[in-house]
Amino acid sequence: MPRFAANLSLMFTERPLLDRFAAAADAGFAAVELQFPYEHPADAIASRLAAAGLELTLFNLSPGDWAAGDRGLAALPLRRDEFRASVATALAYAEATGTRKLHAMAGIASRADPQAQAAYRDALRYACEQAGPRGVEIMIEPINVRDMPGYFLDDFAAAAEIIRGLALPNLKLQFDVYHRQILHGDVLRGLEALLPIIGHVQTASVPGRNEPGAGELDDLRIFRALDELGYGGWVGCEYRPLGRTEDGLGWLQRVA
């Protein structure tokens, strides 16, 4: 079975963020991921990781002002300087925490807008150029517009075209099973076709974005397929527990 990383932005939220690291380790996780770590200093995150014996597999670049509706900056031509500053901040956190994968959110923009397209490609080139010498990969993730209306990157084929077109060695696809099922379905064939460019996988049940096994997909079959395909990375558990986090971890015990 794949190796699973708890997403501490959605799991163990019964506790303050800095206390979730120990909780994840106590629940049997060897790794975690975060959406946005920036509310705490990088050294505080690093200290909790070390104390719990955990690896931080991935986190996102700053999305901009989330409360004001920002959902990333990469495809926004007028936010270029802010995006570049966010790359520097994220890389500093990555260095402090040993993280080797960063997700660059695209933002709210039209994929039909040539200026947004150009800005997105320019932003990804810049991020990859800055991250490459540090051994860090940049992820792009298609996100469904039911959950995030107007999101620029809402198609897996478009993401693959961008990755292959830019041909940057450290630009990879973040394959979220939840978003894939809502956008296109055909999860198993999608994994097989896109495996050469996949840098990270995430999972949640569909349609509720809850624990694996709580929705319409055969999540165990998907995990087995990842093994069969030779995927060796982490699978981020980016889901919202239906109740207390620990009470919903029976799926993890079943696949262990």
Angle between helices 187-194 and 156-166 (to 10 degrees): 0
Q: Single out the catalytic residue among 55, 137, 141, 211.
A: 141
**Calpha distance 129→177 (Å, rounded):** 28
Known catalytic residue at 228: no
Cβ contacts of 220-223, under 8 Å, gap ≥ 24: 220/254, 220/255, 221/188, 222/177, 222/187, 222/188, 222/191, 223/1, 223/2, 223/255
- Is residue 136 within 8 Å of residue 127, measured between CB atoms? no
Angle between helices 187-194 and 219-229 (to 10 degrees): 20
Known catalytic residue at 55: no
Neighbour count for residue 215 (Cβ, 10 Å): 18
The set of residues, in sequence order, having a beta carbon less than 8 Å from that of 34 and lying 6+ positions away, is: 7, 8, 9, 45, 56, 58, 59, 60
Pairing type for strands 171-176 and 59-60 reads: unpaired
Query: What do you get for the CA distance between the two ends of the chain, in Å?
Result: 7
Q: Read off the DSSP letter of residue 72.
A: B
Q: Single out the catalytic residue among 33, 137, 211, 238.
A: 238
**Calpha distance 74→138 (Å, rounded):** 12
> CA torsion sign, 95 to 97 to 99 to 104?
negative
Q: Which residues are catalytic?
A: 141, 238
